[in-house]
């Protein structure tokens, strides 16, 4: 496995302010490079961990990337800015830089440039939803210019994601990403930002989540339904917030190991494969 770390601000020639992050960790499988005379390209998965925009959960970062790596994806994890340094639009721009970097360097990363997905957990799910819906915002175009057209994901996975700034909000995440600005908070209620050109989504959560209520996921699914954009929705009965892959690998206690919930990984991969997210050696392309 080849591992690299990319400074996104340096790559794009942008100024890094304060304690801003904006680094991309790259996980590329080492394997025979050809199949029927062609490079063995893989679909890509950009992983965005949660942490309430006040930290980044290690349990939702590399372990998730490795799950997708072993299932035929080349994987990437985003180190995005947190606390006061992440306030909109900073985190969004860092996420868009990551998407752009992967697509712009698809050949050397052995990635299919039209099969790049993004997965986010909790507040990282909110950032994923921003990339999902706001990739075409003027603030992204102003920052990246023509390269902004490379930022739209081809599929997203939202894992117990923070979505709304309304009644079922995770107030801490919304307050941090909005900088306490009520107008920005209202704008970043992502169920209201869904539009008909967003890519399909796989959404999962649990009935037992006491931190980010399942209503966040339901609101987003209903918004996609209204725009007639395909999605798949899973609501597991048991499981607390922050389960990650819900196995012993990521568990911080026994209650964070929930076998049925751990099925979400294979279910999401099955959904992605139905959408053409496969290696050349699998689909023969």
Q: What percent of the chain has pLDDT over 70?
A: 88
Which residues of the chain register pLDDT less than 50?
A: 32, 37, 282-285
Q: Which domain holds residue 67?
A: 2-283
- How is residue 45 written in tokens? 């998965």
Q: What confidence tens digit (pLDDT) does each residue in 118-170 have?
A: 999 999 999 999 999 999 999 999 999 999 999 999 999 999 999 999 999 99
User: Total domain count for the chain?
Assistant: 1
Query: What is the reported pLDDT for 247?
Result: 60
- Taking the model in full, what pTM does it have? 0.94
Q: What confidence tens digit (pLDDT) does each residue in 97-132 have?
A: 999 999 999 999 999 999 999 999 999 999 999 999
Q: Which of 160, 175, 164, 253 is nearest to 210 (CA)?
A: 160
Cβ contact 72:43 at 8 Å: yes
Return the CATH number at 242: 3.40.50.1820
Q: Which of 111, 192, 199 is nearest to 152 (CA)?
A: 199
- Cα–Cα distance, 119 to 128 (Å, whole number): 7
């Amino acid at each position: 496995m080849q591992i690299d770390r990319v400074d996104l601000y340096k790559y794009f020639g942008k100024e890094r302010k304060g304690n801003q992050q904006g680094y991309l960790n790259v996980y590329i499988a080492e394997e025979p490079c050809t199949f029927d005379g062609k490079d063995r390209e893989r679909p890509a998965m950009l992983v965005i961990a949660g942490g309430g925009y006040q930290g980044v959960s290690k349990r939702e970062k590399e372990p998730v990337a490795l799950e997708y790596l072993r299932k035929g994806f080349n994987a990437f994890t985003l180190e995005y800015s947190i606390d006061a340094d992440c306030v909109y639009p900073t985190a969004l721009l860092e996420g868009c830089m990551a998407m752009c970097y992967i697509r712009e360097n698809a050949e050397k990363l052995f990635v299919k440039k039209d099969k790049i997905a993004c997965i986010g957990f909790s507040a990282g799910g909110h950032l994923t939803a921003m990339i999902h819906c706001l990739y075409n915002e003027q603030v992204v175009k102003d920052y990246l210019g023509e390269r902004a057209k490379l930022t739209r994901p081809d599929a997203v996975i939202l894992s117990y994601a923070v979505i709304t700034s309304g009644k079922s909000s995770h107030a801490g995440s919304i307050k941090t990403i909005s900088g306490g600005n009520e107008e920005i908070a209202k704008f970043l209620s992502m169920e209201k930002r869904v539009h008909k050109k967003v890519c399909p989504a796989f959404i999962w959560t649990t009935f037992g989540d006491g931190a980010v209520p399942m209503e966040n996921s339901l609101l987003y699914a209903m918004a996609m339904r209204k725009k007639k954009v395909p999605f798949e929705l899973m609501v597991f009965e048991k499981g607390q917030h922050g389960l990650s892959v819900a196995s012993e690998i990521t568990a911080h206690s026994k209650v964070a190991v929930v076998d049925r919930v751990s099925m979400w990984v294979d279910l999401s991969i099955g959904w992605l494969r139905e959408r053409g997210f496969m290696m050349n050696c699998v689909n023969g392309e």
